[in-house]
Structure 1
Amino acid sequence: METRIDDWILEQEETIQAWRRELHQIAEVGFCEYETTHYIIQQLEPLNFTLHTGRSVMDDGARFGVPHADELRKHEQRALEHGVPQTLMEKMKGGFTGVVAVLETGRPGSHTAMRFDIDALPIEEDTTEDHLPAKAGFHSLHNGMMHACGHDGHTAIGLANAHFLATWKEHLSGTYTLIFQPAEEGSRGAKAIVEKGWLDGVDYFLSGHLGIRSQPVGTLISGATSILATTKIDATFTGKTAHAGMEPHKGKNAMLAASTAVLNLHGISPHSDGETRINVGRFEAGSGRNIVPGDAVLQLETRGESTNENAYMKTEAIRRLEGAAHMYDVTLDYQIVGEGLAAETDAYYIEKIPVVTSSSRYVQTVKESMALNGSEDVTYMMRHVQNHGGKASYMIFGSQLAAGHHHKQFDFEEGALYVAVSAFAHIVVHN
């Protein structure tokens, strides 16, 4: 059976590559993955999974940072024009994208869940010959949206795993739940899936990521450690505009408030118990050189080695935002638009994965662990499973990268897709 797994993957390589490239062309940002969801359903419908879509996938109140209704409608109209059926769009309307696919083998056994994120980033993709997707003709067809983090590959890996499970069903037992998750970027979608109950009763949970740091194809990291907790905050300062020459005293300068906040945010003392991070990534203010700016917007994030350290950073960040607003007599409105927990792969998987993948022809080198030092909202799923007695892993699939994650020229080696599919398959048959 071990040999047959990789023989099967070899036969599927062209199909897996095609899935990845077709998904790359329809890149969509979080909660707007309408075409992507339709594509996933089309690939899964011939299989013997029970498919769940629309509001059955996520708890409405637990979603973070859902785009404004006008923005959602724009993406919904685009998806309709590109062939998404009206009946499916009615189910997804309002940002209820994603798919949960459940396979019941009919034999008693454990419950295994897997997560594959499906969203892209708000980046205009490079279209020069230096960028393989452009050179090979599969760059994003959606302006201002690009798969610059490998989630097109993750979705293709998920589709391949679904086909593997369907093909191998008679050799398996228990229940398998595949989660095609919207809005991972910004840590916005996972909690809503957990709150809907999809991780309840799960014994084993598998997830992973392509790339992260450039490593040879064939390299598998059994489990990421040091996945940082994070909070994403949007802050709006509202003052009063005024003529900068004739009536400067009548203005209330929101730009100065925001500027003060930026400096003070980056001055938060590190926590002694563990690593902490803060970054203001976006600052918008002002409308003209002779106008006292009455509005300013900041987008920022905090991170912490544990949920406790991140809570400290979040509290201090909000205190500084409020202090800056008070100093300049402007109002502050802030929203938590994303949040992720700290988590680590269970020792169970760090020890087990090198053993069960040793017969894989695709997995050449296994490293037990790697400190991620970044954030991922899959941690909500990992922690939920772990807190209820299950085991969870977050693997890394090695690839050399054309450019760093979230860059307009980001690309990975497609051979890493087959390594990931082989790893998932070998782990599944040994659970």
Structure 2
Amino acid sequence: MVFSLAPSPSVDLSQIRLKIRNLQPQLVQWRRHLHQRPELGFKEHLTSEFVIAKLEEWGIKYQSGIAKTGVVATITGTQPGPVLAIRADMDALPIQEQNQVEYRSQHDGLMHACGHDGHTAIALGTAYYLCQHPDQFRGTVKIIFQPAEEGPGGAKPMIEEGVLTNPQVEAIVGLHLWNRLPLGTIGVRSGALMAAVECFRCTILGKGGHGAMPEQTIDSILVGAQIITALQTIVARNVNPLDSAVVTVGEFHAGKAHNIIADSAHFSGTVRYFDSSYSGYFPARIEAIIAGICQAHNARYDLDYYPLYPPVINDPKITELIHSIALEVVETPAGITPACQTMGGEDMSFFLQQVPGCYFFLGSANPAKDLAYPHHHPRFDFDETALAIGVEIFVRFIEQFS
């Protein structure tokens, strides 16, 4: 099923400089090469090798093997200036692709279903343009090719291994090709863009027995069902209704036969919110609910609660610059939307905790070409015209930052 999208604004590429427009066939070729060879997090060996081969071909300095498969390219302009960073994620998903295209995945059960192949191509295009035009920007640019955004997260280990230091990065930007927005639009907003993601797993330990003799048992399914229902009261009755939060239980397993009361039940889920002040609140509240219901039924529990990513918080000043650049590129205010928040998570958030920056959405859907399936769908694909637009925005950011 495709999204129902507002009509696309007229996509006029006249604001894309000629040398970047001329790079478009290469961008498409690189993206399709990567699309055919998807790899999971921390296993992006072919992807890293491809990135390294291009950097070596262009004479760009780089470091590899960062957080296992990460690569950082360093490009210096002819004049001194700031140290900036561009971030692109490289990993794919464990999805069997259903698209019947010549560049479909050649790796069974794996697919670039979130656009990271496009992100890597855009970053490569930016690197190529900058190394060909060092007189057009000041300072140093680090281009970070990051593994494992889809999980368990490659940004944090890359930071821990020093990608933001020596020299110290002053600002960072990144983008996400976004099929919730039509081609020719850009989603950019100051403050919270994407939600924090926290996860939990819980096992309810009851006492099994015969389905006809419940008085001899502690029904783990009954206890689990009451807990799952009660967890929804956290957002409904504990979170400020002016704030946004989601508690989702996505998995529930218990029992092996219709006439046996299960002695254990397992469920897991996620918590998402924008406001960092809620950090630490949800694990305590979730455990209080689980503990109270278990106590009422003489059941026991084992809870594992762990944060995954903090919220993506954009710096106001850098977001303003990205907004002005986006307006230059799409040439119409209708092409810029701040109404682009999502409860999805992103480990770009770890970079933004360390240095000011901006993460934005680059519209990539084109229903007229049947390119509007949602992210993580087995028929996900995007309009590759967005690739040159992404390079143009990155290059202008580097040229205009001061």
**TM-score past 0.5 threshold:** yes
Q: Is 1:380 the counterpart of 2:350 in the alignment?
A: yes
Output the CA distance in 2 between the equivalents of 1:222 and 1:198: 25
Output the CA distance in 1 between the equivalents of 2:141 and 2:358: 16
Residue equivalent to 1:45: 56
Shift of 1:151: 1.4
What SS does the corresponding residue of 2:352 show, helix, strand or coil? helix
Shift of 1:291: 4.5
Q: 1:267 aligns with which of 233, 238, 242?
A: 233
Amino acid at match of 1:145: L
Shift of 1:337: 5.7
Output the CA distance in 2 between the equivalents of 1:417 and 1:384: 27
Residue equivalent to 2:3: none
Output the CA distance in 2 between the equivalents of 1:32 and 1:376: 19
CA contact (8 A) 2:283 2:305 kept: no
Q: Is 1:157 the counterpart of 2:122 in the alignment?
A: yes
Residue equivalent to 1:19: 30
Q: 1:175 aligns with which of 140, 157, 174?
A: 140
Output the CA distance in 2 between the equivalents of 1:292 and 1:328: 15
Output the CA distance in 1 between the equivalents of 2:71 and 2:305: 27
Higher strand share: 2
What SS does the corresponding residue of 2:355 show, helix, strand or coil? helix
Residue equivalent to 1:307: 276
What SS does the corresponding residue of 2:106 show, helix, strand or coil? coil
Q: 1:98 aligns with which of 66, 70, 79?
A: 70
Q: 1:192 aligns with which of 132, 151, 157?
A: 157
Residue equivalent to 1:297: 266
Amino acid at match of 1:233: C
Q: 1:166 aligns with which of 131, 137, 158?
A: 131
- Within 5 A, what are the aligned runs for 1:243-392? 244=210, 253-268=219-234, 269-272=237-240, 274-326=243-295, 327=297, 329-336=299-306, 338-344=308-314, 346-356=315-325, 360=329, 366-367=335-336, 369-374=338-343, 375-386=345-356, 392=357
Q: Which structure 1 residue ranges, 5 or more long, are not aligned? A: 59-95, 127-133, 387-391
Q: 1:233 aligns with which of 180, 196, 199?
A: 199
Residue equivalent to 1:108: 80
Shift of 1:418: 1.1
Change (3 A) 1:213 1:192: same
CA contact (8 A) 2:204 2:299 kept: no
What SS does the corresponding residue of 1:146 show, helix, strand or coil? coil
Shift of 1:193: 2.5
Shift of 1:211: 1.5
**Number of residue pairs aligned between Structure 1 and Structure 2:** 375
Output the CA distance in 2 between the equivalents of 1:143 and 1:383: 36
CA contact (8 A) 1:354 1:368 kept: no
Amino acid at match of 1:288: A
Output the CA distance in 2 between the equivalents of 1:334 and 1:244: 30
Residue equivalent to 2:8: none
Output the CA distance in 2 between the equivalents of 1:52 and 1:285: 48
Shift of 1:306: 0.9
Change (3 A) 1:222 1:323: same
What SS does the corresponding residue of 1:15 show, helix, strand or coil? helix
What SS does the corresponding residue of 2:227 show, helix, strand or coil? helix
What SS does the corresponding residue of 1:213 show, helix, strand or coil? strand
Amino acid at match of 2:159: V
* Residues 204-223 of structure 1: per-residue CA shift (max 9 Å, x gap): 211111125232x2223344
Change (3 A) 1:98 1:321: farther
Residue equivalent to 2:395: 425
CA contact (8 A) 2:79 2:135 kept: no
CA contact (8 A) 1:225 1:369 kept: no
Shift of 1:252: 5.6
Q: 1:204 aligns with which of 156, 168, 171?
A: 171
What is the TM-score of this pair, normalised by structure 1?
Answer: 0.76
> Percent identity between the aligned chains?
30
Output the CA distance in 2 between the equivalents of 1:262 and 1:302: 13
Output the CA distance in 1 between the equivalents of 2:262 and 2:131: 59
